[in-house]
Structure formats: structure tokens, C-alpha cells
Amino acid sequence: MKIFSKIRGKGRPLIFLHGFPMHQGIWDAFSDHFIASHTTVTLDLPGFGKSDPLPGTFTLDDVASEVLSFIEIHKLHNPVVIGHSLGGYVALSMIAMRPDLIGGLVLFHSTALADSAERKESRNKVIDFVNKNGAKEFTTNFIAPLFANPQHADIERIKQIAATTVKGTVVAYTQAMRERPDRVKTIRTYEKPTLFLAGAKDPGIPLASIYQQAEDCKTCEIYVMDNVAHMGMVESPASAAGRIKDFLNKI
């Protein structure tokens, strides 16, 4: 399978996994913060951007397997994975499968919890809407609510990224996210450092749930960004990058 990627810099690998329904372009400016000291790897998950799609119905474990293969093919030794939202779900699947390959984890506006019954019903409504109206009608309206400031200058750019995602990818990933298992045990048994990078105004991931997940996790840290919702890499890039750098220095 072809996985499109951009690999820059030199040093310990950082793998940036984008959220839904985006592609690796969301990391373009943010990853610049790290290229002086790290090898930065931004990639399109299967079916997004310029990467080949997975056939038919698939799980996030199937997606994780493709990223693990990418790591081995490119000989990325002991990378730290930074997963935004959906990217965090994929990263957790990767760790559940091959914890030995991953040297650290940043869950960037992401969660180890499975979907609640209410959230699963919301996913079903997304699938129905996209099947009736197409992907673009959904993806372009999905972006603004992810920002604390509905007039943020980057919203239009992110909308353009999201608009490239085709119907089949939107439906298949919505199904896969709906069916993903709870990964709290994965977090608590993973022996390498984990950072939860959260937004104080994130409407989809309550802070209380982050603290709940980090209970009994000796290697977990939590950092909450004020006046940030679900897009910290563009809402507060300097703060987010600074906190990740502090985390990396401890590994």
C-alpha cells in the first residue's frame, strides 16, 4: 500500500498522525517547530490525502497495521507518535499491537475511551447524512465547531483540507471509529511516556474523562491549554509545541 509522507529533519523520529477528516497538511507549520532536533514524519492515513485506501470495511487496527509497516519499511527507530483525535485512536491501536516499536505517545485532543452509546448514534447520523448528501457537505461544515474561536483565520484552510476527503473514506472511518474498543488498559499498561494534550474548551473530550483515563498510569502526563478547543496545533501552536518539547526532553 502506498502511504504518502513527508520526512524532514534529523534526529529521533516524530510521527504525526492527523485527525478526521483531514490529511497530513494540518501539520505543515506545526512540525516546523521540531525539525531542528528531530526527524519529523507527517503522513496521510490510508484513504486520506494522497495515500491509497483500504478496501471495503476495515477497523482502526487495520489502519494501525499499515502505519506499523510504514515504520518498519522506513526503519524509524523508537519513534514518538503524536496522534491528533483519530490519529490518537490509531496510535493506541499501534501500541496495543506493537508497544515495543513505539517510544512514546502524545494523545493530542484524543481519548482512549470507546464511543458512548450517544456518540455511536451520532456516528450513525453522520453516515446517513453523508450517504444522502455527499462528503463535502459534511466535511466543510465539520471544521468550525472544532475551534474555540469560530472566526479563527485557519478555519478556511482546514476546510479546504477536509474537502479533499471522499465519501467512501468518511463513511468507512466513521464506522471504524464507532466500533473501536476501549483502550484505557492500553494506556495504563504501556510502560513508556504518554502525554495527554487537551483543550479546555474541547466540546468532544471533557477534561474529567482525561483525568479519569490517566488514573493509575505512572507514565502519563496531562497538559491543558486554555482558550483551545480541538485544534491546538493551529489555535495555540507555540504553547502546544513547547509542551511537547518539554515532554520529549524527558524521554
Whole-model pTM: value is: 0.98
Q: What percent of the chain has pLDDT over 90?
A: 97
Q: Is the pLDDT of residue 251 over 90?
A: no
Which pLDDT score is estimated for 171?
98
Q: Which three cell numbers stand for residue 61?
A: 487496527
Structural element, H or E, at residue 244: helix 237-250
Read off the pLDDT of residues 19-49 as tens digits, 9 standing for 90 and up: 999 999 999 999 999 999 999 999 999 999 9
For the residues of 182-235, what is the DSSP string, one character each?
A: P-HHHHHH--S-EEEEEETT-SSS-HHHHHHHHTT-TTEEEEEETT--S-HHHH
Read off the pLDDT of residues 102-139 as tens digits, 9 standing for 90 and up: 999 999 999 999 999 999 999 999 999 999 999 999 99
Q: Is the pLDDT of residue 216 over 90?
A: no
Structural element, H or E, at residue 6: strand 5-9
Domains defined along the chain, listed by start: 5-114+181-250 (3.40.50.1820)
Which pLDDT score is estimated for 211?
96
Rg of the chain (C-alpha set) = 17
Read off the pLDDT of residues 178-190 as tens digits, 9 standing for 90 and up: 999 999 999 999 9
Give the contacts of 234 (CB within 8 A, at least 6 positions apart).
26, 29, 30, 152, 154, 158
